[in-house]
Structure formats: structure tokens, C-alpha cells
Structure 1
Amino acid sequence: MGKSCSQCPQPKELEMTTSTSQKYLLIFDFDETIVNENSDESVIHAAPSGELPEWLRRTLQEGFYNQYMQRVFEYLGDSGVHMHDLKAVYEALTFSPYMQQLLHFLSLNPEPFEIILMSDANTFGIESTLRATGFFSLFHRVFSNPSGPDKRGYLTLAPYHSHSCPHCPANMCKHKILSEYLLERAQQGISFQKLLYVGDGANDFCPSTLLSPMDVAFPRKTYPMHQKIQEMEKNQPGAFKAQVVPWESAEVILQYLQSLLKRS
């Protein structure tokens, strides 16, 4: 996937007459970006044996991870794992290096930023983590796969939406989500000075192709998003438009934002 999504709305389709906003739109991924692990894999530790049976692991198909996790949550429920057990796992997730300091800085400087989160995890897990750490209110919107308890008390999971992007998982294309969000805000008379995208995964590369030369992509260093940006720059020099600021520690992102506010 060293290409932009030709089947998703391109930036020119988002152009509208809007009032200029001085805010920056800051977009975060969740797994292996805000938290330092894959939250879906972490919940497996709540299973009685601490792992999944081989027959269940064999049902995972590329591009259909959401359906796989639906089966995982069903298995966990059948195994006696309760919502409070899963909540405890989510609340114990560790932040990526320096991410807590970055979020604390944003909580002290909320005015310049509109912050959203796009994640292929699930709403229950994300909210559990962010509420436990006091950062949930930072986010203007959270886009993730809907989840919650059913009548049995099992955590159930659904796909976020459907889409036609050939590069993304069947349940979520973040390019489509970001395009629609920018259009929605434009219709409300809101435009952004700059888009700032913080992510790590292959599904973060697709929306990052929306970014303009005015914008900044913060891919986690050596992770798939970073690799795909490098691949595009090698195969199609100049095709990736945004400034690229790789990070191993979120201190890099914090320092960039501090500098940005000083210049504005």
C-alpha cells in the first residue's frame, strides 16, 4: 500500500467557504500510539488461561480483525470473563513513552487545539483507559468501533462503518472518517490552520495522505505508518505532501507543539 486511496474523497473535494479558525486539528490513534500496546491483544490476558485456544486464533483473517475480535469477546464471555474484568485490563494499559506528559500539556493548553481520536480498537476500551487517567475530556470526538455489554453481560463489538477503500480493514477506513469530519466541520464554518496526525499503523497511513504541505504527520518511528511513508517517498518522490516528524518518544511531539504555539 504505497499509494494514496484513489477511491476516497480527496482534499479538493473538501474545499468550502468557511470562516478561518485559529485552531489546530490534532488527530491521535490509540493502540501503540497513545498506549504502548495493542489493547485487543491485552484483553486476552483476562482469559482463564491467559491465552486463546488455537482453534480461535486460526479464525483470524487479514482485513477482518474486527470480526475476529467479535469472536474473541464471545469466547471470553463464555469463559466467565465479565465486563469489570475487561475494564480493569483497559484501565491498566500503559502509555507510550512521554505520552502522559504530552496529554497533560494539552490539558493545560486546550484553546489552540481541537483533538480527535480515530482507532480500530473499541469505544468501551478507549473510554475506560482515558477516563481512568483523566484525559477523556480532552477529545472532541472519539471514532472507534462501537462496543458495550449485551443482555448476557458480554462485551459486544460492531464494525464502525462500511467503505470502498481497498487498502483498509473492512470495518474502518480512517481516510473516510477524517474526510467526513473535515467536511462536517467545514459545513459548520470551521476550518483548521494545520492538521497534525499522530499514529503508528498501516491504517494511519491512509488518512495521512489527506494531509497538505502545511500539515504534519507524526509516525511512530519504524512502525508501519512510518515504513509506508518512506516507501511512498522512495517510489513516488514528493507524493507524500505533509511534513514528516517521526517519534520514538512523544516528547518529540510535545516539543513540536510547544514551538508551534510560540510561533503563533
Structure 2
Amino acid sequence: MGPAGRTLLAWDFDWSLIEENSDTWVIGQLGADEIYRKGREAGMPWTQLMDHTLREAAALLGRTREDVEAALQATPLHPELADLLRAAAAVEGGEAVDIVVLSDANTVYIDTILAHHGLRQLVAEVHTNPAEWRGGVLRVGPYHSKPHSCSRRCPANLCKGKVLLELLERRRAAGRQYSRVLYVGDGRGDFCPAVLLLHGGGTAAGGGDAAAADGGGGGSQSPCGGSGNRVYARQEYPDGLPCSLSVMLRNEAHGDGGSPASASVAAVAGRQAGAEAEARVVPWRRPQELAQLLRRELHLAA
């Protein structure tokens, strides 16, 4: 049973809340795979690649805003997760649940998909790459316009650990304190916030801006590193391939990841703390399993 008090339920979006990668899904639906492939072979950073592919799909293939929106509305989102969000958002009083999304997709994709399923009003904040329609073409830019100083292999355009710390600090300053954070993710970009929640702010971003946002190397403020936090890490995709987050957390817990993150956690937390943190990582494979796990944690009726 989790601790009493308000909960922050933080979601990654692709392969976590939805059952697809929204970026590559839309590209496939638009028939722009060859444009995407050439851009990737040219070494474009991901966000720039998405912007390029959408522009070229409009210019060369005649794809329209309506085509993009139709692709987004067809994106699979499991009904049990939609029901879970509705049930979680309906909890009132001291044990209420606030829902946020931290994603490397973009604002138009997430807002459109959530609105299509009647869920957008349930999500308090969405933090993702900004996007807007310009002359019928969707343009996408990076979330961070300046370096984020994170050493946990976050993409240059988005450090979710920094975003999460700033969100928690901003809400705490406004008088909203959380007893715990439940984080759902699958990929490399989810590793930074996961380690932050399992081990605390002092190890959040290699001493960079994210750590400073939580008070630096001193004791981290709850719920960062708190015993009530849980990381719901997807183990594998529908095709059976392992998810990066679960692999990275397993390597980090056993100190065999060969990365600065593994070394810093081993030095600061120690083996016993690492084992305790690993016990707070909840594995899942399919969305209906995740829905059941979260309902149990939040004491929601099935």
C-alpha cells in the first residue's frame, strides 16, 4: 500500500500511454518512410528529422493537415489505460492524483491524440517539444533551446529529469506537495527522471542544472528519492525487443552499465540503497497489465 497523500502520476507518451511511437506512426501513415530514412541516414537529430520529414511530406507528397490529424486519431491507445486515467483523475481530497505527460513527441501530436479519446482535460501539464501549424505544415522544434547540462545521456532537445524537477519545485512553491511520484516509461529518455525518483535530486543530472533545481548535492526534497516513488518500466515491446529503460535500470542497479550514472549511484547510494531502489521498479509488458498495476497502487476499483 502506497503512502497517504497526493500523488503525481507522470507518463511518458510513446509506448507508455499510447501503444505506438507517435513520430514514426504518423510518418508511416503519411507514406513518408523514404523521406524519413534519408534524413536519418544524413544524421539529423531526432526533432530536426521530424520537422524535416513533415515539411517534405507536405511539399513532395501533398500531405495535408487533415492527413496528419487522421493519422493521430488512428493512433492506438488501450481503452483500459483511458479508463485508468479517468478513474485516477476522479479521486478527490488528500489522496488526489495529478496527471502529467513528459514526452519527446510534440504538443500537437499529444494534444490531438488525448483530445480524440476525451482525455486532454484530465492531464494537468504536458511537457514536450513545441509544434505549430504554419501554412498547413506542422513545424516541430526542441523543448530545450539551451544546453541542459545533463550527463545521463538525455537527448540534447529534452532532459526529462530537469523538467520533472522544475515541475515539482514549481508546484511545491505554489503549495502543492506530493507524497510520491509514479512514473511510467520505456525508453532512454526516461532513465534520468527514473534515477532521480529512485535515488534523489543530488544524483539527478551529474551535478548540472537539474540537480541545482532541487537544491544541489545536499539532501533531496521529497518525493525525489522517496520510498513511496515507483517507476513502472516497460520490459518489452509487442515484437519482443527489450525496452531501453528496463535494461538501463538493471545495469545501473548492478553497477555494470559502464556509465557515469552507474558509478555515481554506486558511490552515493551504496549497494543496499541500490537494491531498495530496484525493488521500487515495477515491470510491465502490456498496457492492460500496466492498468491493473496502477489501479492496485492507487486503490482504484477494477
Superposed pair shares fold, TM > 0.5: yes
**C-alpha displacement of 1:254:** 3.4
- TM-score, normalised to structure 1, is 0.83
Aligned counterpart, 2:244: 224
Runs (5+) with no aligned partner, structure 2 = 198-224, 236-241, 256-265
**C-alpha displacement of 1:108:** 4.1
**1:25–1:187 CA distance, 2 compared to 1 (3 A):** same
CA distance in 1, matches of 2:243, 2:290: 16
**C-alpha displacement of 1:84:** 1.3
Aligned counterpart, 2:107: 123
**1:110–1:197 CA distance, 2 compared to 1 (3 A):** farther
CA distance in 2, matches of 1:119, 1:218: 15
CA distance in 1, matches of 2:299, 2:33: 49
Q: What do the CA deviations read for 1:41-99 (whole angstroms, capped 9, x no partner)?
A: 0111243x4522453331234xx211111111111121211111101111110025842
> RMSD of aligned C-alpha atoms?
2.2
- Candidates 235, 239, 250, aligned match of 2:274: 239
Contact 2:32 2:57 in 1 (8 A): no
1:55 counterpart letter in structure 2: K
Identity %: 31
Aligned counterpart, 1:9: none
Instruction: Answer yes or no: is 1:100 the counterpart of 2:82.
Output: yes
Contact 1:175 1:210 in 2 (8 A): yes
**C-alpha displacement of 1:262:** 4.1
* Equivalent residue runs for 1:61-210 within 5 Å: 61=44, 64-79=45-60, 80-96=62-78, 98-109=80-91, 112-150=96-134, 152-161=135-144, 162=146, 163-166=148-151, 167-210=153-196
**1:259–1:58 CA distance, 2 compared to 1 (3 A):** closer
Runs of 4+ in 1 over 4 A off after TM superposition: none
Runs (5+) with no aligned partner, structure 1 = 1-20
Q: By percentage of residues, which structure has more helix? A: 2
Contact 1:27 1:117 in 2 (8 A): yes
- Matched residue count: 239
